[in-house]
A and B are shown apart, each in its own frame.
Chain A
Amino acid sequence: MEFIKLAFHNLLRHKLRSMLTLVGIAAAVTALFSIISFNRGFERGLAEEIEKTGLHFMVVPAGCPHEVASLVLHGAVTPKYIQAGVMEEMQGIAGLELISPMLITQLPNPARDRLDMVYGLEMAHITAIKTTWTINGAVPAGSDGILLGAEVAAHDNLNPGDQIRYGDRLFTVTGIIRKTGSQDDAFVYMPIQALQEILSEPGRLTAVGVKVAQPEQLEEITADLTGRVPGIQIVTMNDVLRSLGTLANSAKVLSLSIAAIAMLIGAVGVMNSILMAIFERTQEIGMMRAIGANRQDIFRIIIKETVILTVAGGMTGILFSLIGAGAIEGFVRGIMPYVPSGRLIRFEPWLAASCILFSVILGMAAGVYPSYKASKINPIEAIRG
């Protein structure tokens, strides 16, 4: 029976109070771990997506950089279009290996009485520009085949071979894209010419993706293109990385401040709870002094109570964040214009250990005053009651 056991028994005496204090710490650690883990996952996922995209830059109509970035990586419905003739101009430029036109819009789906988000692209380019996709089924070969994002397929319970009508044309689903966890899941993918025909807008484009033959010529080519075609914006993958990085960073500062406040509240909770416990145990502390405990012994017992509380709270917090990871990510995906695909909050042992350590250090800092106060209890006054 050592001090740690005594401390543990003391906490068990007021199970509800200890539990509530622990939940306070757990909530703070949940926030801290989730936020840091999410940010790391965001940076990692973004870098992976940029690396995997088969394009070097996108030609888009000028607009908000975040919107553009989102458009570049996952597609977004914007009311702006590239002026006609851009494709022709680009075909005249040397050194472009792949020029892939894209049109993103909404189409009425009369059978379901709603608007579908439709992404028109060159089906032949899909393997080159969507390198992360896995397709159950096949990429459409003809002009009346379509691919469905996982959410669209799941929501309407559609399978390869089913048919959907847009305008006066009937399309056959040839494949379903396996869930990516990004906006890609919410689109219907259609051959671009078919989409332009339905809209009666031949040549209308939202963006053009470009892969160059020699990446070292990238700067020359983009400069050339900007000079030749007015009204467009060229977004390289580095621009995207930088723009989203800035967005993520400002979010990080804000969210970490919130986590810091949560930690502070948790620490105050620990201090309050331990102070109350000492107040109630004054006589017992006096007795322990009488039977041979010195001041340091009392200090050690009380500080160990805070350590137990914060270690247990910290571990519970990590558990909470792993359990709640899906919900947290879903929430953030709903409010941020761009979030990389895949799972972002992961269990990283060193990060979990650091968060727990941080909560323990903070808890001990909060426990120092109560422990000191307990060690100063005058045994005679305590016993006299």
Chain B
Amino acid sequence: MIELTNITKNYVRGAEQVQALRGIDLNIAGGEFIAIVGCSGSGKTTLLHILGCLDKPTSGNMRIDGADVAKLPEAKLVRIRRERIGFVFQQFYLIPGLTVFENIALPLVFNRKPKDRDRVMALIELVGLAHRVKHSPSQLSGGEMQRVAIARAMVNNPQVIVADEPTGNLDTATSEKIFALLQALHGTGLTIVMVTHNPDLAGRVGRVLEMKDGRIM
């Protein structure tokens, strides 16, 4: 579904030229659950951002369902993000002033879609927060916040979930539950790419990519 060929990514950090990715070749089939591991600075988050069409590679080819996306302008990439990709972050990034329901519905606003109440409610049920619909994020635990973020990533019916250390801020028990939720979503046919520092979780997914110095080992 996603094909990367010889992808490189350079960026400037201060006075320094960083070679974050140095030739990545990767094929992701639909319905895969992939964990990307590696130490910090190895390029795993950069790779995830490129897979999520949030960042553009410096060189190389990238195809999604056969269509070349490596050189698409931002205006086209944003449409891919809206329609096909769901993002989950380590710090959840919920909007404090909005309720659980409104946070989950937020991508619909940017996608110019009507607020589909049934769909949002179904997602809230799916992530197990039916009793929290009108709560604000400040009333939730870390695990609950990540559940909201996962529901938000799902609201546009994406093909791929890209998750950047989704359990990085959670304790072991809560991490297990979030991981179980991701596994359940994977069970419905969704493709999941997850960056993680947790070797135990990484060991339980379909494929593990270990990165070092911008390359997949």
Residues in B with CB closer than 8 Å to A385 are 91
Residues in B with CB closer than 8 Å to A10 are 97
Contacting residue for B87 out of A290, A294, A297, CB 8 A: A290
**Minimum C-beta distance from B120 to chain A (A):** 11
> Considering the chains assembled together, what is the distance between the CA atoms of A98 and B30 in angstroms?
105
Interface assignment of B39: CB less than 8 Å from any CB of chain A: no
Interface assignment of A332: CB less than 8 Å from any CB of chain B: no
Bitwise interface map of A from 1 to 42 toward B, beta carbon under 8 Å scored 1, else 0: 111001001101100000000000000000000000000000
Interface assignment of B98: CB less than 8 Å from any CB of chain A: yes
> Considering the chains assembled together, what is the distance between the CA atoms of A72 and B126 in angstroms?
84
Interface assignment of A252: CB less than 8 Å from any CB of chain B: no
**Minimum C-beta distance from B8 to chain A (A):** 16
> Considering the chains assembled together, what is the distance between the CA atoms of A14 and B86 in angstroms?
29
Contact in complex: A292, B81 (CB < 8 Å):
yes
Contact in complex: B98, A9 (CB < 8 Å):
yes
**Minimum C-beta distance from B58 to chain A (A):** 13
Closest to B13 in A: A381
Bitwise interface map of A from 180 to 220 toward B, beta carbon under 8 Å scored 1, else 0: 00000000000000000000000000000000000000000
Contact in complex: B97, A291 (CB < 8 Å):
no
> Considering the chains assembled together, what is the distance between the CA atoms of A1 and B98 in angstroms?
10
Contacting residue for A283 out of B91, B105, B106, B115, CB 8 A: B91
Bitwise interface map of B from 171 to 202 toward A, beta carbon under 8 Å scored 1, else 0: 00000000000000000000000000000000
Contact in complex: A292, B107 (CB < 8 Å):
yes
Q: A291-B87, A379-B54 are in contact. Are A283 and B93 (CB under 8 A)?
A: yes
Interface assignment of B75: CB less than 8 Å from any CB of chain A: yes
Contact in complex: A1, B115 (CB < 8 Å):
yes
Residues in B with CB closer than 8 Å to A383 are 54, 89, 93, 164
> Considering the chains assembled together, what is the distance between the CA atoms of A283 and B94 in angstroms?
10
Q: A1-B102, A1-B105, A9-B98 are in contact. Are A292 and B54 (CB under 8 A)?
A: no
Contact in complex: B93, A284 (CB < 8 Å):
yes
Contact in complex: A291, B153 (CB < 8 Å):
yes
Contact in complex: B82, A292 (CB < 8 Å):
yes
Interface assignment of A380: CB less than 8 Å from any CB of chain B: yes
Residues in B with CB closer than 8 Å to A380 are 49, 54-55
**Minimum C-beta distance from B213 to chain A (A):** 18
Residues in A with CB closer than 8 Å to B102 are 1
> Considering the chains assembled together, what is the distance between the CA atoms of A284 and B103 in angstroms?
12
Interface assignment of B28: CB less than 8 Å from any CB of chain A: no
Residues in A with CB closer than 8 Å to B52 are 290
> Considering the chains assembled together, what is the distance between the CA atoms of A323 and B204 in angstroms?
69
Contacting residue for A292 out of B91, B95, B110, CB 8 A: B110
Residue count of chain B within 8 Å CB distance of chain A = 31
**Minimum C-beta distance from A323 to chain B (A):** 31
Contact in complex: A9, B110 (CB < 8 Å):
no
Residues in B with CB closer than 8 Å to A291 are 81-82, 86-87, 106-107, 110, 152-153
Contact in complex: A13, B97 (CB < 8 Å):
yes
Closest to A385 in B: B91
Contact in complex: B49, A284 (CB < 8 Å):
no
Interface assignment of B78: CB less than 8 Å from any CB of chain A: yes
Q: A283-B91, A291-B152, A294-B74 are in contact. Are A2 and B109 (CB under 8 A)?
A: yes
Residues in B with CB closer than 8 Å to A351 are none
Interface assignment of A293: CB less than 8 Å from any CB of chain B: yes
Contact in complex: B97, A9 (CB < 8 Å):
yes
Interface assignment of A114: CB less than 8 Å from any CB of chain B: no
Residues in B with CB closer than 8 Å to A13 are 96-97
Interface assignment of B111: CB less than 8 Å from any CB of chain A: yes
**Minimum C-beta distance from A15 to chain B (A):** 11
Interface assignment of B45: CB less than 8 Å from any CB of chain A: yes
Residues in B with CB closer than 8 Å to A292 are 78, 81-82, 107, 110-111, 156
Most buried by B among A284, A290, A384: A290
> Considering the chains assembled together, what is the distance between the CA atoms of A294 and B75 in angstroms?
7
Contact in complex: A9, B89 (CB < 8 Å):
no
Interface residues of B in 38-88 (CB under 8 A from A): 45, 49, 52, 54-55, 74-75, 78, 81-82, 86-87
Contact in complex: B95, A284 (CB < 8 Å):
yes
Residues in A with CB closer than 8 Å to B91 are 283, 385
Interface assignment of A130: CB less than 8 Å from any CB of chain B: no
Interface assignment of A295: CB less than 8 Å from any CB of chain B: yes
Interface assignment of A289: CB less than 8 Å from any CB of chain B: yes
Residues in B with CB closer than 8 Å to A294 are 74-75, 78, 110
Residues in B with CB closer than 8 Å to A12 are 97
Interface residues of A in 129-184 (CB under 8 A from B): none
> Considering the chains assembled together, what is the distance between the CA atoms of A345 and B185 in angstroms?
66
Q: A295-B74, A379-B54, A380-B49 are in contact. Are A290 and B95 (CB under 8 A)?
A: no
> Considering the chains assembled together, what is the distance between the CA atoms of A291 and B107 in angstroms?
6
Interface assignment of A87: CB less than 8 Å from any CB of chain B: no
**With A6-B109, A294-B78, A385-B91 given, can you name 20 additional A-B contacts, CB distance below 8 Å?**
A1-B98, A1-B102, A1-B109, A2-B109, A9-B95, A12-B97, A13-B96, A283-B93, A289-B78, A290-B52, A290-B89, A291-B81, A291-B86, A291-B152, A292-B82, A292-B110, A294-B74, A294-B75, A295-B74, A297-B110
**Residues of B participating in the A interface, judged by any CB pair closer than 8 Å:** 45, 49, 52, 54-55, 74-75, 78, 81-82, 86-87, 89, 91, 93, 95-98, 102, 105-107, 109-111, 115, 152-153, 156, 164
Complex A-B: 5 CB contacts under 8 Å: A1-B115, A6-B95, A6-B98, A6-B109, A380-B49
Closest 6 CB pairs of A and B: A9-B97, A292-B82, A287-B93, A292-B110, A290-B87, A293-B110
